[in-house]
Amino acid sequence: MLPTLATVVEMAKGAKGTAEGDTRGKSRQKKYTDAQMAKNDQIDIAKYLLHLYWKEPFFHRILQAVHINKTRDIPTAGVAIRDARIDLWWNPDFLSDLTDDQVIGLLQHEAYHLAYGHCTSKLKPHIVANWAMDLSINTSIPRKDLPPGGWIPGEHFDRPDPADWASMVQKDKDWFEHIDQLVAGFDKGLSHLQYYALLVEDEKISEMIKKGEELGELLKKILSMDEHPDGNEIGEGDAQVISGILAEAVAEAVAEAESRGWGSVSASKQGELRAMVSNEVDWRSILRQFIGRCRRANARSTWSRRNRKVPGMAPGRTRNRTSNIAVLMDQSGSMGNGALELLAGELNCLSGRTGFDLFPFDTKVMVEHKLIWKKGMTVDSIPRVMCGGTVFQCCVDFIHSKEMRGVYDGYIILTDGGSSKPSGGRVRRAYVLTPGEQLAFDADPNDIVVRMTGE
């Protein structure tokens, strides 16, 4: 249910609160007089939140999950977590130097951080993780709408103010030039984990991490447009509560955007966000049925005492039961990108319970594109590698082939159902159908059929 306009205004008014204590000295270190700071205190963030309400419903709904506060305890803006509560802090002096579009871009940037769960990230070191997160977000926001200090892959940084550059030590100047060239060589559109991997693979940054070195304070300020908490400093209980709050906020934000429009959110981001909130399939039930036909594995020798009154030990064998699953994703021409994005989200949910092997197929199974999906692994999207017709029989032939015999205990076909009926077999089979679709034939009695609703 949409909030009333009055509710939005009240939320915006509540965002005007100032942090306790006199913290004017921190802003005065830059250039602000008391008169200028008094003027900056009149900045009304409510109008920017109202803009998001009307034009950017996704971002507005995400920010409804946080407490927005004014402060001079931080130089820019950013998210903080304490006592299982999310706060977004903003410095009025920092906002006074920004255009209206840049303030809106800053709020969108912070909303993305929250939506993707960056505030509870455990990646180390914290500063490198922040760089990676900013790189993954900022390609979705026009550069003109980003405050100074925004990291954009494939582009150079803005040059520092001449006075700041003159006051920097040579070591920090060298660092600036190195990071600038490194980031300018990055591809756009990667995830924050991919950017993190690229950063820590850099020889100079890797050496900095090993030695525990830090950049100079001025350089860190130049290379930052916001502040974020270190997820390693957040208690496990608080992290779980925050993750739950944000997961609910993202689900509601996606639903609201689908109803009212996505605003400036790109099509690729829309797909990622839809995938994040898709959890319709009851994988637990499906896996329970598959494990009914599980195989034995990981056998080991053991010794046990038959009876405490009888001396001696008896040899034995202990076996863990497991189930190997293959997931075959229909990538035929009838499967739209929206369906693939939805199924990617469902596979993220499945990986929370078990690992599996993913294969794309249309009229044949593309073994060369096999993805070993480990338990707990998540992806933003699954690239399309095929676009032909649909033949379920190729899945049956693959699973029951000589090479695959005994490898899998069950297989799941993700599809829109547009194929003739395949033959049966000894390996358990499940069909997961995209919303609004059904099989073009009657399934075998032993088959599991799940019809998604998209709700």
In whole numbers, what is the pLDDT of the chain averaged over residues? 81
Using the predicted structure, report yes or no on whether residue 367 has a pLDDT greater than 70: yes
| Three-point CA angle 424, 430, 435, nearest 5° | 125
The pLDDT assigned to 423 comes to: 94
User: Mean of the pLDDT values across residues 387-398?
Assistant: 94
pLDDT bucket at 390, cuts 50 / 70 / 90: very high
The pLDDT assigned to 154 comes to: 92
User: Whole-angstrom Cα distance, residue 331 to residue 334?
Assistant: 8
Asked if 14 and 94 sit in the same domain, the reply is yes
Using the predicted structure, report yes or no on whether residue 410 has a pLDDT greater than 70: yes
User: Mean of the pLDDT values across residues 12-34?
Assistant: 47
Using the predicted structure, report yes or no on whether residue 24 has a pLDDT greater than 60: no
Using the predicted structure, report yes or no on whether residue 1 has a pLDDT greater than 50: no
The pLDDT assigned to 317 comes to: 56
User: Whole-angstrom Cα distance, residue 222 to residue 413?
Assistant: 50
The pLDDT assigned to 207 comes to: 86
CATH code of the domain in which 334 resides: 3.40.50.410
Asked if 350 and 260 sit in the same domain, the reply is no
User: Whole-angstrom Cα distance, residue 452 to residue 349?
Assistant: 14
Using the predicted structure, report yes or no on whether residue 161 has a pLDDT greater than 60: yes
Asked if 291 and 170 sit in the same domain, the reply is no
Asked if 258 and 292 sit in the same domain, the reply is no
Residue 306 lies in a domain: no
Q: Residue 63's closest CA among 134, 111, 13? A: 111
Using the predicted structure, report yes or no on whether residue 227 has a pLDDT greater than 70: no
Please provide residue 300's backbone torsions phi and psi, each rounded to the nearest 5 degrees: -145, 155
Asked if 116 and 133 sit in the same domain, the reply is yes
Given a contact cutoff of 8 angstroms between Cβ atoms, the answer to whether 143 and 150 are in contact is yes
User: Strand 428-433 vs strand 410-415: parallel, antiparallel, or unpaired?
Assistant: parallel
Asked if 363 and 267 sit in the same domain, the reply is no
Residue 308 lies in a domain: no
Residues with Cβ within 8 Å of residue 1, at least 6 apart in sequence: none
Asked if 261 and 332 sit in the same domain, the reply is no
Asked if 334 and 265 sit in the same domain, the reply is no
User: Mean of the pLDDT values across residues 255-262?
Assistant: 90
pLDDT bucket at 359, cuts 50 / 70 / 90: very high
Asked if 234 and 342 sit in the same domain, the reply is no
Given a contact cutoff of 8 angstroms between Cβ atoms, the answer to whether 343 and 382 are in contact is yes
Residue 41 lies in a domain: yes
Last residue of a domain, one of 223, 249, 277: 277
Asked if 69 and 111 sit in the same domain, the reply is yes
Which conformational region is residue 263 in: left (phi greater than 0), alpha (psi within -120 to 50 degrees), or beta?
A: left
Using the predicted structure, report yes or no on whether residue 23 has a pLDDT greater than 60: no
Residue 314 lies in a domain: no
Asked if 270 and 338 sit in the same domain, the reply is no
User: Mean of the pLDDT values across residues 159-173?
Assistant: 85
User: Mean of the pLDDT values across residues 444-455?
Assistant: 81
Asked if 398 and 264 sit in the same domain, the reply is no
Give the chain's domain count.
Answer: 2
Residue 309 lies in a domain: no
The pLDDT assigned to 30 comes to: 58
Using the predicted structure, report yes or no on whether residue 147 has a pLDDT greater than 60: yes
What percent of the chain has a predicted confidence (pLDDT) above 90? 29
Q: Which domain holds residue 368?
A: 283-297+321-451
User: Mean of the pLDDT values across residues 172-201?
Assistant: 90
CA distances from 78 to 66, 99, 170, 325, 362 (A): 12, 18, 29, 43, 46
Residue 310 lies in a domain: no
User: Mean of the pLDDT values across residues 205-211?
Assistant: 84
Residue 313 lies in a domain: no
The tens digit of pLDDT for each residue in 284-327 reads 667 666 655 444 444 456 666 655 665 666 666 555 445 688 99
Given a contact cutoff of 8 angstroms between Cβ atoms, the answer to whether 296 and 319 are in contact is yes
DSSP string, 96-154: HTS-HHHHHHHHHHHHHHHHTTGGG---SSHHHHHHHHHHHHHTTS-GGGSPTT---TT
Q: Which amino acid is at 317?
A: R
User: Whole-angstrom Cα distance, residue 140 to residue 144?
Assistant: 12
Residue 128 lies in a domain: yes
The pLDDT assigned to 55 comes to: 94
Crossing angle (nearest 10°) for helices 126-138 and 100-115? 120
